[in-house]
Copies of this chain bind each other. A is one copy, B any other.
């Protein structure tokens, strides 16, 4: 596992001190790739203070306007989530997440996405993710401080790196020896756009009343973590459906 292939993404962070705390937690555990989506205040003296010796992580952090930008080149996206969303998504604990991270190849990038201090990630943001990770906190007092949550995840990633041999035994389906490169987020997004367009064209999806159709299809496909050939097949299929419609 290459820890430099793992990106920590913070969405709309309110308190710059927390960004500093995250940077410190990352550096303690050997992570270095930090992406900030529309932080309220950054850069900031509070961030620098809490970062202690991890100012380099803050300096090299990318600041972007949207979550989509932050994850565009990632192959596997995992969103930090409390339990109990409308549509259940595959949920791992931090230890399982680290096992999955261990199974990634050196060319594969993972993004782990953390939401706002007070409200976490929105449903739309969570649905951009292949998997969710839940830190098993106590019911009734479940919300961890942002830097503490990143610390736990980063700790498990480092433990897994130190125990590579252990973790390799539970390589999931998309791990070792896959024949095709995994698709990136932006390729999946184009697929979902295309799919939605076709579903409207064949009168299956009513834009006035979309129900949970697209979230459910997203969940299904993202769960499988499609590779590039699979995405090409699906895109080709959609194009042929459209061509057939036009011809008649």
Known: A28-B137, A151-B144, A223-B174. A203 touches B240 (CB 8 A): yes
Which of A36-44, A101-109, A121-129, A225-233 lines the interface with chain B? A225-233
Chain B: minimal CB distance from A246 (Å): 9
Query: Which residues from B are CB-within-8-Å of A94?
Result: 155
Q: List 11 A-B contacts (CB under 8 A).
A: A28-B141, A28-B142, A28-B144, A30-B138, A53-B141, A88-B179, A138-B158, A151-B152, A220-B224, A223-B224, A245-B248
* Residue pair A93, B159 in contact (C-beta under 8 Å): yes
Interface code A130-150, partner B: CB below 8 Å = 1, 0 otherwise? 010001111001111101100
How many copies altogether?
2
Min CB–CB distance A125 → chain B (angstroms): 19
Q: Which of chain B's residues have a CB closer than 8 A to the CB of A244?
A: 201-203, 245
Cβ of A71 within 8 Å of any chain B Cβ, yes or no, is no
Instruction: Indicate with 1 or 0, residue by residue over A201-231, a CB within 8 angstroms of chain B CB atoms.
Output: 1111000000001001101110111100110
Q: Is A29 an interface residue (CB 8 A)?
A: yes
